[in-house]
Amino acid sequence: MPSSFNMNNLPFSLLTEEEQNMLRQNLDIGYFQKGEVLMAAGSVPEGVYVIYKGLVSESEAVDGEDDGQEHVFVQYQEEDYFGGWSAIKGKAIHDFTAVEETICHIIPTKTVLDLVATNSLFADYFTQNLAAKAEIMEQHSEDQDMAEFMLARVCEGVIREPLIVVEGTSVAETTKMMREKHVDCVLVKRGSRYGMVTGTDLLDAVVINSLPLDADVAEIASYRLISIDPDDYLFNALIMMTQQKIERIVVIKSQELVGIVELTDVLSFFSSHSHVIGLRIERAKSVEGLHQAAQGLNKLIKSLVSHGVKTRFAMDLLAAMNGRIMAKLFDLMVPPDIQPHVCLIVMGSEGRGEQIMKTDQDNALIYRDGLAWPEMHEVMQRFSKQLIEFGYPKCPGDIMVSNPEWVNSLGDWTQKLSDWSSSWEEQDQMNLAIAVDAKPVAGNPALFKAGRNWFFKSLKNNDLFFSHFAKVALDFDTPLTFFGNLKDKGQLDVKKGGIFPIVHGVRTIALEHRILATNTFKRLEALAEAGVIEERHAKDLTEALGLFIQLRLRQQIKRADEQEAGVDLTPNTLDLQSLNKMERDLLRDAFHIVKGFKKHLELKYHLGGR
Amino acid sequence: MIIPRTIRRMKEKLEHKTGPYAHLFEPYQGDEVVSLDCETTGLDVKNADIISIGAVRVKGNKVLTSERLDIKLKPPKTLTGESIKVHKIRAQDLADGIELEEALNQVLDFVGNRPILGYYVNYDIRMLDKFIRPRYGFGLPSKAIELSHVYHDIIKWRSVGGNIDLRFDTISKHLDIPMLERHTALGDAITVALMYVRLKYGDPPEVSC
């Protein structure tokens, strides 16, 4: 009975009502003092513990003569559960200690096993790895996205102002007016009633029923109008249209005509607008036109995210869009006879196709050895300036084509790559890391490929380089111990703690195995295919990185909305307070994966002793 | 109240030495107590009736909510306005209640010879005794543990001379124990059990008087 037990949290919300009752019947409550061990490693656990109040830490068993510093994995707080794995195994894997006074609900092992046997979703949740966990969560939040999608109301911007004609207007006149106003339907006022006439109606009247052109349009109108309230859900409008096989609905609020909703408007409201923006980019004939198209991108990102599109696909789409904008701008600014002799490359996150909000421009230009183009630097200056106006901020490290350092002939470029790779300077290593993620977006890609292939060859068997290069991935600690102090220290830098180690680690391995892809997800796929990384690990890393990026993006959008300038000042901060328990759970698991990956790097590149 | 009860219990123990209930009079050896609470129609033992009984076992530092008693009785005649306001149980809520005889049987079974824990526990015991005695010829023989006494004994050293606030809500607040479903028999029984465990196994609570 203890109704104090919250069934709304995963995984208990996966249980049926009957199973929840069964669970309630079998709950016990335990009280533990500060410092008391709830479950010792190796002991037989009583069951799964769900914290009602208090704080519990999970740590590696201390072997007597260790340096006394126990290694805390995770801390659990109110509503967290722990011991699921231990209960199923029948043996506790770690020590669980009460950090403060704690009251726990205890679900006896037998009950847990019964539930695992009867409910497969619940079982999956308990036993599966992160990828499966995330999938379960996604399925469940799908309803939410769906709800959001369906909750748009009719009045939210799809109502059209109707064209109204009075009774007695001729068919010919009506047709002319419709042509002028570019509408396909007109309302006829007859007395106090409205009737609807569509283009098809007019056509039928004249061609099939052979009515004269001066016939009264009120005669052919249909007065049986289907109407909807402006506060009704847009989705209902769609359902009505489908049921009645019509394409327009009249919006009426307390007997008053408000407007018309058309099927095409509803459909385009629901679909993302990426296609439209893409077309606008292609069709832009001037820098101004392109500017306008670029403005639409931020809106697109938001709508994609709020419609629950997987971040990874949103990123692919955005990278393609950004690339097209840059290519188009390059097209507009660089004379056609020069274009085959130069190549614009984007680098860093842009090169990997992993940026979502428009972040700094990292780009460079490679030109054919001996090219004579006196205006080159001047044009590149203007190019960078234009991109800034489009909303791509200046790169703080000045890694852009406006900086002559990053405009090189092919020979200079390869020389630079080779200098950086043999240098131990931090800045050089940084530059190299950015440069190896490069991707050509405009001009002649052959120039870029020549440079890259040469660089790959030069690195062959240079173990020292890889070992040094990989080291940076271990520079930042994984913020796992943060979790105990969630309440006071509610923020963490997700880039340093999670994204960078994965991206850089994968980059290093990919470089060593000469993977051509620059996107981290694609690199992981390629590495798994080549058998360099175990399939399972690649999958886990993919999920973890996806999660980091998704959570970060959501908060970025929120912060950008709150800021007046619409710019997020702390793009890599993750505010843990605004995450729900399930997300914190996933985040924790993801950081564990990062930790494991770092260990793997350490072994692989002999970075021990850190 | 305690002393007459002790004497009476010795007498009843003698009388039932060979009866079917002899085991109830054995001194208890285990480490369990039973936290028990009754909701009644009034506060006067003579005129009130029991409407629900909740009980839960406490073993060591665990409250065994999986082993519990949650009894609803048939609505008694005295179930009227005033008490309904307190416990919010109406006659219709007791529609599927069980007979008093059956309920008493279950209580005796569940409690056995374990000590009974409660908040103003004597009231609950007297209430039960009122119905048990005419039917079985004895009252609940178990030892009684009064939560407010346990609390008082621990707190008194910290507030010499002062009066100690022994109200249920105050104790629960000082012990930082969440109140689960106040004024349902089982809810109160669990809360009392948690407070007991907290007092028994935790550090003495900080009290500023």
ipTM metric: 0.70
The identity of residue A26, as a single letter, is N
Same domain for A408 and A486, yes or no, is: no
User: Which residues from B are below 8 Å from A29, CB to CB?
Assistant: 62-63, 65, 190, 193-194
What is the Cβ-side half-sphere exposure of residue A98, based on CA atoms within 13 angstroms?
21
Q: Using a CB–CB cutoff of 8 Å, tell me whether A289 touches chain B.
A: no
- The answer to whether A249 and A237 are in contact (CB under 8 A) is yes
What is the Cβ-side half-sphere exposure of residue A14, based on CA atoms within 13 angstroms?
19
Q: Using a CB–CB cutoff of 8 Å, tell me whether A539 touches chain B.
A: no
Q: Is the pLDDT of residue A272 over 60?
A: no
Q: In which order are the strands placed within the sheet that holds A439-443?
A: A407-409, A363-367, A342-346, A439-443
Residue corresponding to tokens 């120039």: A447
Tens digit of each residue's pLDDT (9 = 90 or more) over A211-251:
888 888 888 888 888 888 888 877 778 777 877 778 888 89
Most confident of A283-292, A583-592, B58-67, B102-111: B102-111
* CATH number for the domain harbouring residue A347: 3.30.460.10
Task: Provide φ and ψ at A132, rounded to 5°.
Answer: -65, -40
Same domain for A116 and A182, yes or no, is: no
How far is residue A15's CA from residue A272's CA, in Å, rounded to a whole number? Answer: 35
Confidence of residue A485 (pLDDT cuts 50, 70, 90): very low
Could B63 and A34 be called an inter-chain contact, meaning their C-beta atoms sit closer than 8 Å?
Answer: no
User: Which residues from B are below 8 Å from A2, CB to CB?
Assistant: 65, 180, 190
Which residue in B33, B52, B66, B172 has the most chain A C-beta atoms within 10 A of its own C-beta, making it the best mutation to test that interface? B66
- The answer to whether A23 and A115 are in contact (CB under 8 A) is yes
Same domain for A303 and A445, yes or no, is: yes
Q: What is the predicted pLDDT for the residue at A149?
A: 47
Tens digit of each residue's pLDDT (9 = 90 or more) over A403-420:
888 898 998 998 888 888
Q: Using a CB–CB cutoff of 8 Å, tell me whether A26 touches chain B.
A: yes
Q: What is the predicted pLDDT for the residue at A293?
A: 73
Confidence of residue B107 (pLDDT cuts 50, 70, 90): very high
* Final residue of a structural domain among A209, A241, A270: A270
How far is residue A74's CA from residue A82's CA, in Å, rounded to a whole number? Answer: 10
Cα dihedral A333, A335, A341, A343, rounded to 10, equals 10
Same domain for A387 and A265, yes or no, is: no
Residue corresponding to tokens 């249920």: B168
pTM, two decimals, is 0.50
A52 to chain B: closest CA residue: B178
Q: Closest CB to B66: pick one of A28, A32, A103.
A: A28
Query: Is the backbone of residue A388 left (phi > 0), alpha (psi -120 to 50) or beta?
Result: alpha
Q: Checking DSSP bridges between strand A573-575 and strand B62-72, what pairing results, if any?
A: unpaired
Residue corresponding to tokens 């590495």: A527
- Whether A140 is covered by a domain: the verdict is no
Percent of chain A with pLDDT over 70: 82
Same domain for A284 and A389, yes or no, is: yes
B203 to chain A: closest CA residue: A33
Same domain for A254 and A362, yes or no, is: no
User: Which residues from B are below 8 Å from A25, CB to CB?
Assistant: 66
- The answer to whether A482 and A492 are in contact (CB under 8 A) is yes
Could A31 and B198 be called an inter-chain contact, meaning their C-beta atoms sit closer than 8 Å?
Answer: yes
Distance (Å) from the alpha carbon of B149 to chain A's nearest alpha carbon: 21
- Whether A139 is covered by a domain: the verdict is no
For chain B, the average pLDDT equals 82
Confidence of residue B115 (pLDDT cuts 50, 70, 90): very high
- Which residues 53-72 of A are in CB contact (within 8 Å) with B? 53
Pick the CATH number of B30-200 from 3.30.420.10, 2.60.120.10, 3.30.300.30, 3.20.20.70: 3.30.420.10
Which residue in A1, A23, A39, A53 has the most chain B C-beta atoms within 10 A of its own C-beta, making it the best mutation to test that interface? A1
Q: Closest CB to A27: pick one of B66, B198, B203.
A: B66
Q: Using a CB–CB cutoff of 8 Å, tell me whether B186 touches chain A.
A: yes
Q: Using a CB–CB cutoff of 8 Å, tell me whether A21 touches chain B.
A: no
Domain count, chain A: 4
User: Which residues from A are below 8 Å from B177, CB to CB?
Assistant: 103
What token pair was written down for A380? 């590149």
Tens digit of each residue's pLDDT (9 = 90 or more) over A275-326:
556 666 777 778 887 887 777 776 666 666 665 556 666 677 677 778 888 8
Same domain for A286 and A426, yes or no, is: yes
Residue corresponding to tokens 């003569």: A65
* CATH number for the domain harbouring residue A262: 3.10.580.10
* Final residue of a structural domain among A433, A460, A487: A460
- Whether A138 is covered by a domain: the verdict is no
Task: Provide φ and ψ at B149, rounded to 5°.
Answer: -70, -45
Q: Using a CB–CB cutoff of 8 Å, tell me whether B197 touches chain A.
A: yes
Q: Checking DSSP bridges between strand A227-228 and strand A248-253, what pairing results, if any?
A: parallel
How far is residue A480's CA from residue B89's CA, in Å, rounded to a whole number? Answer: 49
Could B64 and A28 be called an inter-chain contact, meaning their C-beta atoms sit closer than 8 Å?
Answer: yes
Could B181 and A106 be called an inter-chain contact, meaning their C-beta atoms sit closer than 8 Å?
Answer: no
Same domain for A72 and A217, yes or no, is: no
- Whether A71 is covered by a domain: the verdict is yes
Same domain for A113 and A180, yes or no, is: no
Same domain for A302 and A444, yes or no, is: yes
Q: Is the pLDDT of residue B191 over 50?
A: yes
Q: Closest CB to A29: pick one of B194, B201, B203.
A: B194
Q: Using a CB–CB cutoff of 8 Å, tell me whether B70 touches chain A.
A: yes
* CATH number for the domain harbouring residue A571: 1.20.120
Which residues span the domain enclosing A58? 12-127
Question: Angle CA(A167)–CA(A169)–CA(A175) in degrees, nearest 5?
Answer: 130
Distance (Å) from the alpha carbon of A21 to chain B's nearest alpha carbon: 12
For chain A, the average pLDDT equals 79
Tens digit of each residue's pLDDT (9 = 90 or more) over A348-399:
888 887 776 666 778 899 998 888 888 888 888 888 888 888 878 777 778 8
Domain layout of chain B by residue ranges:
30-200
Could B68 and A1 be called an inter-chain contact, meaning their C-beta atoms sit closer than 8 Å?
Answer: yes
Percent of chain B with pLDDT over 90: 16
Which residue in A31, A34, A105, A106 has the most chain B C-beta atoms within 10 A of its own C-beta, making it the best mutation to test that interface? A31
The identity of residue B63, as a single letter, is V
- The answer to whether A560 and A570 are in contact (CB under 8 A) is no
